[in-house]
A = this chain, B = another copy of it.
């Protein structure tokens, strides 16, 4: 109980959203936590009124005031708005850490029951392929930029270690595909390895993402905290929730430097809306993450115990769970009835679930001193040279012919080093003829070793090549502090 009520923005959302949100609000009130809810709108109705973001100005203003959001799922109606309002909210407030606990629950039948699965997936929420920067290179060749930054990596990896520390968790697993993507996923892995030294009491391990998926199927109880890049995290967090009962039991928190947003993972399930049948557990568990975030750990623990007791008893069972357990769907508990049972169980302790030191996500990590500095002065202090350029060309010309033509166009400052097709070198000729897709990458490098290639030389090259080939994309080849900032082609 607090003297001063917490101010929290609540967005009931679409479909079943208002019902699950109301359930969580009733339980929080019954547990004695005083909240001054600022109810705000977002989603389907907002889009239909012509706001293409789905998130009105008033709602944004409320979140800027309260900095904490409890929300139901939002719909993006077909034909209104291009981007999901759920995603827009996360982007607007730069909630860079998507935290998805996956924990075995009593009374929820799964194939892994009794193994003690209790992990937290910490997913980077801003960058990677989700920056959504796509360019058609030719009419039949599409490209998306996967962007991984040291700063973005440092923030999420620190978040994961701080989370582990605050909860007394023993291990953080970093999941990447660094063996294939040495610069992008490799940057994430290297950042993890460097930061792990600051957390000597926590076991730090790195696993390749496909092995993580394999191990999650074979022995998920081995995982504790898992930190990973955006797409990897999207896939394995959904996998993890599938191991412990599905989306009806999957909470999430999105944490930024300023704002945190708590929501169930599931959608708006319109066919169940207004019928008082939906299982509110996911949103209730999300609200516990919220309570811990605002400093109400004791109340969160009390409510969590009541939820566990209710699931353990198996007396009030919602339809979805009755279906899974082969129980009586006709007489399943309503959303309201299930909520009432949890409230009635406040103060009880579950019999079968061991007590944990902490649960859910912590308050925003205690702003640790950054390991790296970032900025123009830091960039300027690092030796940097531009040693060449990659040009991407639409061309169906045979590699040898393209190579000879491009050699002739290279000019005085540059020389053609190689041509590749989908990453595999095709010139100088290797004798193999990989399938052409009409896009070649030609790499030109400075004729003189260690020469810095100028913008004027690149512009002149592009214009010369452009007379003969349609180019679509130019990448400088950088060397930073003596390290090549580009990869070789397969076979180079």
Contact = CB atoms under 8 A, between A and B. Distances in A.
A449 interface: no
A182 B473 CA distance: 19
Q: Which of A144, A382, A390 has the most CB of B within 10 A?
A: A144
A133 interface: yes
A474 interface: yes
Contacts of A375: 396, 438
Contact of A487 (B92, B133, B463): B133
A146 B129 contact: yes
A213 B235 contact: yes
A463 B460 CA distance: 10
A213 B184 contact: no
Contacts of A96: 435
Range for the number of chain A residues in contact with chain B:
35 or more
A82 B379 CA distance: 29
B486 A139 contact: no
A184 B142 contact: yes
A112 interface: yes
Contact of A432 (B92, B186, B246, B458): B92
Copies of this chain: 2
Contact of A242 (B216, B466, B474, B486): B216
A111 interface: yes
B239 A134 contact: no
A149 B475 contact: no
A147 B143 contact: yes
B132 A487 contact: yes
A83 to B, nearest CB: 6
A135 interface: yes
Contacts of A236: 213, 235
B459 A463 contact: yes
A41 interface: no
A272 interface: no
Given A132-B487, A379-B396, A144 B184 contact: yes
A480 interface: yes
Nearest to A477: B135
B91 A491 contact: yes
Given A134-B487, A210-B239, A213-B213, 16 more contacts: A92-B491, A129-B146, A132-B489, A139-B379, A142-B149, A146-B146, A151-B437, A152-B422, A213-B235, A214-B247, A217-B240, A257-B435, A375-B438, A376-B397, A455-B463, A472-B476
15 contacts: A94-B435, A135-B477, A137-B147, A139-B485, A141-B147, A142-B186, A143-B146, A144-B181, A144-B183, A144-B184, A152-B422, A374-B437, A458-B462, A459-B463, A472-B476
